[in-house]
Amino acid sequence: MKVFVDERQREHDPQHFLNRGARRPSPEQPARLDALHKGAIAAGLDAAAPADFGMAPLARVHSADYLSFLSTIYEEWQALPGASEEVVPNVHPARRPATYPAHPVGRAGWHQADTACPIGPHTYSSVYWSAQSAVSGADDVLEGARASYALCRPPGHHAFADMAGGFCFLNNSGIAAAHLLAAGRRPAIVDVDLHHGNGTQAMFYDRADVLTVSVHIDPDSFYPFFWGHAHERGEGLGAGYNLNLPLPQGSGDVPFLDALGIGLEQVAGFGADVLVVALGLDAYHDDPFAGLSVTRDGFCRIAEALARVGLPTVLVQEGGYLSEALGDNLTAFLTAFGAEAGA
């Protein structure tokens, strides 16, 4: 199995975000990339550089004005008198009919959902290459690999078609799924990150050609709050093609695996012929987010369950934050997946 990652993905270096109103250091640190890369190599994966597929795979799921915003806003922001070093929003259209603004402060509020996705000088380059790693992982599977691992840092599943949020800018899992769809495949996305994959859900919410399944902590008490509830099943043509499996805070391996089993039954019923796994490792009991209580052995069981689906699989890194266990948890997951899948 290959691990796709590019050095430029390290350059995004977010400084702060607001948590309960308090200014905190961002946990989405460049060192995550090193810990995860080391973990993938320790599992025996082969390092591979992503190819540059250009803007087309990004534009399948993201709007033109958002992609333009991401690539230009840092320089525009720096030209504002008194501007902060990072682009951080402070005013939003707030669920009311609104006019797309010309001013950089207005566009920041339009395209950034929260303060957890500050844009610095190297953010665009990092998120661009993170997305190219996802496309390269998907392409590897299209070319016949049983599985591939895209080390996507920055992560992606909280990014909407036209909006960043929750440390995410480009929706790598959604981009991978759209790339597979464009090649004539029928993808299912299974998200095992601690947090609900709200951006991914929204991207495919009214579509029947991509199944989205997410196992996560109940959003009644956790980010992203507004999405991730069991009653959100899709709309229009997409009705029945989104499945949320929220778990009570503190849930451990058994409830997580039970929920995943329900999700994988949906994948089989959907007739998926390729799987995209939004692979967060922040459900770990010792993750800084401290939301669920999955153990390292639990990650192995999750990996085996995903491998037993028996489909070509793109593993796309999502969350999982710095602790001594992060890299080792990835090693355990990838080793268990590879052993079960014969990959």
Q: Near Zn ion by CB under 5 A, which window of 58-66, 119-127, 264-272, 316-324?
A: 316-324
Looking at residue 80, its amino acid is L
Of 270 and 289, which CB lies nearer to Zn ion in the complex structure?
289
Nearest Cα to Cα of residue 172 among 193, 186, 144, 145: 193
Quote the CA–CA distance of 107 and 111 in Å, as a whole number.
6
How many residues lie near Zn ion (CB under 5 A)?
Answer: 6
Q: For Zn ion, which residue of 232, 253, 282, 287 counts as binding (CB under 5 A)? A: 282
Q: Which two tokens stand for residue 31?
A: 């060192």
- Phi first, then psi: what are they for 196, rounded to 5°? -60, 140
Give the shortest CB-101-to-Zn ion separation in angstroms.
30
Of 121 and 255, which CB lies nearer to Zn ion in the complex structure?
255
Quote the CA–CA distance of 291 and 302 in Å, as a whole number.
17
Question: Is 280 a binder of Zn ion (CB under 5 A)?
Answer: yes
In DSSP terms, which residues pair with 244 in a beta bridge? 214
Q: Near Zn ion by CB under 5 A, which window of 41-49, 202-210, 221-229, 277-285?
A: 277-285
Cis peptide bond N-terminal to 154, omega within 30: yes
Question: Is 287 a binder of Zn ion (CB under 5 A)?
Answer: no
Annotated catalytic residue: which of 158, 179, 195, 196? 158
Quote the CA–CA distance of 250 and 293 in Å, as a whole number.
5
Give the shortest CB-266-to-Zn ion separation in angstroms.
21
In DSSP terms, which residues pair with 137 in a beta bridge? none
Of 181 and 325, which CB lies nearer to Zn ion in the complex structure?
325
If you write DSSP's letter for every residue of 80-112 in order, what string do you get?
STT--SSB------TTS--PPP-SHHHHHHHHB
Q: For Zn ion, which residue of 319, 321, 325, 336 counts as binding (CB under 5 A)? A: 319
Give the shortest CB-293-to-Zn ion separation in angstroms.
15
Quote the CA–CA distance of 151 and 34 in Å, as a whole number.
10
Of 214 and 341, which CB lies nearer to Zn ion in the complex structure?
214
16 is a catalytic site residue: no
Of 12 and 185, which CB lies nearer to Zn ion in the complex structure?
12
Site for Zn ion in 185-224 (CB under 5 A): 193-195
Question: Is 277 a binder of Zn ion (CB under 5 A)?
Answer: no
- 212: enclosing H helix or E strand: strand 211-217
Catalog residues that contact Zn ion under the rule CB under 5 A. Answer: 193-195, 280, 282, 319
Active site residues: 158
